Chain A
């Protein structure tokens, strides 16, 4: 047995024989081209065949993001400049496979030079090259193996075309040598619910067919496990999936302490299945791509649709979160050198108060027409004074429950003062990380700083939760971190009263909470708070929770 280490990218355990992605075609030695026209024709035929294949994969892709990336690849395969440049290379003496390789190498260098997001996309270009070269050589498309039974897919990295058709029943888990937590592999694995470990270089030394296990939470991969281990790991995983499917009801710890599990939605369409309520109703959708703001009537209709779907339930409406970072034409904001630090969220009301007052009036009218429990909150609040002004405005519009989002360290540090004015807080951990670590949310190179397990972020969450407990007012979390079943225990232990997330993440969080008492959650939170690094915080929390859980069989009604 050999233990390998990677980064856990999609939680869960999986085990089975490993099979690697079909290797890319080897580029044969350059032969003297006798018929340049035939080579040019070969490039065109390859482009047509590859574009058609990628388009078919895009059409059958289960995941919308994967389909989108595939369509971008189709556009690359059909790119006239690619064909033209290949023609020039062929006139210079290259054969079709070498011409394609040379031209795409140029674009690859440009992607890498651009860094960040684009550098993570070089695998898309490499995949395109491999497909075009394989087509020129008359070889089968490189791609996902099909051994005829469930297996662990291993690869250097996965391209969208490889992963779009992955069947969760056949591919038990994914292990890649490269990539990162923000790579396509990681995102797709989480979407499909396939456990995954990325950046595990040693995995490429493991031979096809060897048995291995992976833990998508801590990133540990063990090569050379026994058949019994494979059976146990997969049985555990299956039991976990079945338990989750049966899970129902409100969120609570094993000893009955309630932690509301709410949904993040953008419209009534996003409401799937039974939910306790909505913790974040984003209202931006209504405002996009318009030259004038939506009218009072239009807003009332849209809000009423959501409120009517959840009679008697809590719905937290976030007022318009737009501005310099997410420009909307009708706001007519000046372009700012530093949009994330500029006029955005509630700050828009400084310049254009009518946008907020119109929205509050519409929310109030819609709330009056239904019997949902409507709460309202403002994004991007930095001071207690801003919270006071917002709350007052809500009261004037007859909205009884007004709160603010904590996304700025200044507001988190003064949470108890903010709560003198606001009825509740909701922490947006994505933006709070961005501002705490001065790291742009879109910057993949800084992903480690944006890890919710960073002790500084947990400390700020603790300040907010404690302020809520002392004031006797609810403090929720509606950022990505609330959907992490291990992090949810930390949040509950800190005193957070509700967790809001994408609806599909609710069952796993519900189960995690139900398996621990409030006292255990507090111990886990303390362990995470005391840890010196995000890795140590995660390890401490996961270690504590596994230990506490292994004692008895857990069942969730």
Chain B
């Protein structure tokens, strides 16, 4: 099953804006992708509440997993998004 583990790149963590962008992208994927932080139980990547509840901060290691047609591409797309700093630039 396609799996990728990445570090959250957004300065404020996987919160408001970064989380919204991530969840919106997950909802566009043809397969259900799950995300988990540490050894907690995996949650659906397209659930805003669940993703926020992970409490993932910048540098937190998270694992994405999916199954089925297009799973690899979906996992790669979302992993790439997670690694970027999705917060606006500031001083």
CB of A111 within 8 A of CB of B91, answer no
Q: Could you give, for residues 40-63 of chain B, a 1 whenever the CB lies within 8 Å of some chain A CB and a 0 otherwise?
A: 000110111110111101110000
User: 30 A-B contacts, Cβ less than 8 Å apart?
Assistant: A68-B16, A68-B20, A71-B20, A75-B20, A75-B24, A76-B52, A79-B47, A79-B49, A80-B47, A81-B50, A82-B49, A107-B49, A111-B52, A111-B55, A113-B55, A114-B53, A117-B12, A117-B15, A266-B89, A280-B91, A282-B89, A282-B91, A289-B84, A326-B11, A326-B85, A327-B85, A339-B58, A339-B59, A442-B58, A479-B91
Partner-A contacts on B (CB < 8 A):
7, 9, 11-13, 15-17, 19-20, 23-24, 43-44, 46-50, 52-55, 57-59, 83-85, 89, 91
Q: Distance (Å) between the CB of B15 and the closest chain A CB? A: 6
CB of A81 within 8 A of CB of B49, answer yes
Residues of A within 8 A of B47 (CB): 79-82
Residue from the list B46, B54, B89 in contact with A284, Cβ < 8 A: B89
Q: Distance (Å) between the CB of B57 and the closest chain A CB? A: 8
Q: Could you give, for residues 74-105 of chain A, a 1 whenever the CB lies within 8 Å of some chain B CB and a 0 otherwise?
A: 01101111100000000000000000000000
- Given the known interface contacts A72-B48, A75-B23, A114-B53, the answer about A430 and B16 at a Cβ–Cβ threshold of 8 Å is no
- Given the known interface contacts A81-B49, A113-B55, A289-B84, the answer about A72 and B20 at a Cβ–Cβ threshold of 8 Å is yes
Q: Could you give, for residues 323-361 of chain A, a 1 whenever the CB lies within 8 Å of some chain B CB and a 0 otherwise?
A: 001110100000100010000000000000000000000
Residues of A within 8 A of B57 (CB): 116
| Number of A residues with CB within 8 Å of any CB on chain B | 41
CB of A325 within 8 A of CB of B11, answer yes
CB of A68 within 8 A of CB of B15, answer no
Instruction: Give the top 4 A-B pairs by smallest Cβ distance, nearest first.
Output: A114-B55, A110-B53, A75-B48, A81-B47
Bound-complex Cα distance A75 to B24 (A): 9
CB of A430 within 8 A of CB of B91, answer yes
Residue from the list A78, A325, A478 in contact with B91, Cβ < 8 A: A478
Bound-complex Cα distance A530 to B44 (A): 55
A288 adjacent to chain B (CB < 8 Å):
yes
Bound-complex Cα distance A95 to B70 (A): 39
Q: Could you give, for residues 309-335 of chain A, a 1 whenever the CB lies within 8 Å of some chain B CB and a 0 otherwise?
A: 000000000000000011101000001
Residues of B within 8 A of A114 (CB): 53-55
A493 adjacent to chain B (CB < 8 Å):
no
Q: Distance (Å) between the CB of A330 and the closest chain B CB? A: 12
Q: Distance (Å) between the CB of B26 and the closest chain A CB? A: 11
| CB neighbors of B among A438-494 (8 A) | 442, 478-480
Bound-complex Cα distance A110 to B12 (A): 17
Bound-complex Cα distance A82 to B49 (A): 8
Q: Distance (Å) between the CB of A365 and the closest chain B CB? A: 23
A285 adjacent to chain B (CB < 8 Å):
yes
Residues of B within 8 A of A243 (CB): none
A268 adjacent to chain B (CB < 8 Å):
no
Bound-complex Cα distance A339 to B9 (A): 11
CB of A264 within 8 A of CB of B49, answer no
Nearest A residue (CB) for B46: A80
Q: Distance (Å) between the CB of A475 and the closest chain B CB? A: 17
CB of B48 within 8 A of CB of A121, answer no
**Which of B9, B13, B16, B91 has the most C-beta atoms of chain A within 10 angstroms of its own C-beta?**
B91
